[in-house]
Structure 1
Amino acid sequence: MDAARPGSVPTLTDAVALATRVHAGQLDKAGEDYIGHPRRVMDTVGRTAAGAGVEVAYAQMAAILHDVVEDSDLTVPELADAGYPPQVVAAVDALTHREDEAIESYLLRVAADAIAIVVKRADMADNSDPRRLARLPAERAAQLASRYAGRRRLLDDLVLRSSGQTTPGHGPATGTPRR
């Protein structure tokens, strides 16, 4: 992987170029160019990151890069070696679903990184967008909508538990029912 410029920190423009190169020729479930998904996630994150208390530029970089490790031979250490900020690299690492990893383990890692939380919420919102799902066969669309609704609930619960807050009907951080 090429660094942006020797000795420099890659910019958001560099991250977009990298993601565009990595996802070239890849199609999403509806048969459209895959790069549209990380771009939409990046745009959503640009509107939501500040409200979540995270650095917008880092969150946008993580958003555009959120699938590059899963969808290519690119590695997390290579992103670090290319000079991407440690916060971006950590978020991309948190967002990278490992082979044979249980969804709860994956989302627990996401829930431990503030930037990854913002990106994953935007990712799931885009993946379950009714306009996108309408392009799929009805049964597949319903399966995906249900999957992402469950994952959103699980992520929200894990974020609450990791922050020590309570969830309705549960004690703090334990997930055990209150009496």
Structure 2
Amino acid sequence: MADPPPAGPPAPSLADAVALATRAHTGQLDKAGEEYIGHPLRVMETAGRSAGPAGVDPTHARMAAILHDVVEDTELTVEDLAAAGYPPAVVAAVDALSHRVDESVESYLARVAADPIAVVVKRADIQDNSDPARLARLPAERAQALAERYAGRRRLLDDLVGRHAARSRAVG
């Protein structure tokens, strides 16, 4: 009997994902001038809590959440995440969550709506971005505009998730 092929390196852990995101976002600030990594960390915690009830693996949701902005806002690519050994479901969710150049909000959210992990993360992202405590640190006019923008995106995402679920039921 032949020996099994040698195992490759272990898949990155959640701690590895946090370390990668922290390094990648070093020096970045959010709209209120705070260290940017606070946002993905909060999104990670919220996504982790809401993943189970949504039928999503909590570890995959946390990993995708902490990494959700690295492709958009840093030099890292989806290919880098795959090459590092992140689970395919996590890489797919991060890809779904990454805006494309000249992409409409509806096209972007339709892609998110098709990936259950991405939906959990995007809802957590919108929740954090529209947190009244965070918005209160911005000028009132800017805070109001962002609150309206995120409320509209949440409604559109919920509508698209509903449509996607209806299509899936019709096919299945």
Query: Is residue 141 from structure 1 mapped to residue 143 from structure 2 by the alignment?
Result: yes
Specify which of 43, 46, 49 is matched with residue 47 of structure 1: 49
Match status 1:93 vs 2:114: no
Aligned counterpart in structure 2 of residue 16 of structure 1, from 9, 18, 26: 18
Alignment equivalent of 2:129, drawn from 110, 127, 131: 127
For residue 35 of structure 1, the aligned residue among 20, 33, 37 is 37
User: Deviation above 2 Å: which 4+ runs of structure 1?
Assistant: none
Taking CA–CA contacts closer than 8 Å with sequence separation of 6 or more, which of the two structures ends up with the larger relative contact order? 2
1:67-110 CA distances to partner (integer Å, 9 max, x unpaired)? 00001111101100100000000000000011111000000000
Q: CA RMSD in A?
A: 1.3
Return the TM-score normalized by structure 1: 0.88
Identity across aligned pairs (percent)?
72
Matched residue SS, 2:10: coil
Q: Report how far residue 63 of structure 1 moved.
A: 0.2
- Per the normalisation by structure 2, the TM-score is 0.92
Match of 1:25 among 21, 27, 30: 27
1:105-120 alignment runs, 5 A limit: 105-120=107-122
1:69 aligns with 2:99: no
Q: Distance in 2 between the 1:150 and 1:43 partners?
A: 23
Deviation at 1:7, TM superposition (A): 1.4
Q: How much has 1:135 moved relative to structure 2? A: 0.2
Q: Which runs of 5+ in 1 are unaligned?
A: 1-5, 166-171, 174-179
Unaligned runs of 5+ in 2: 1-7
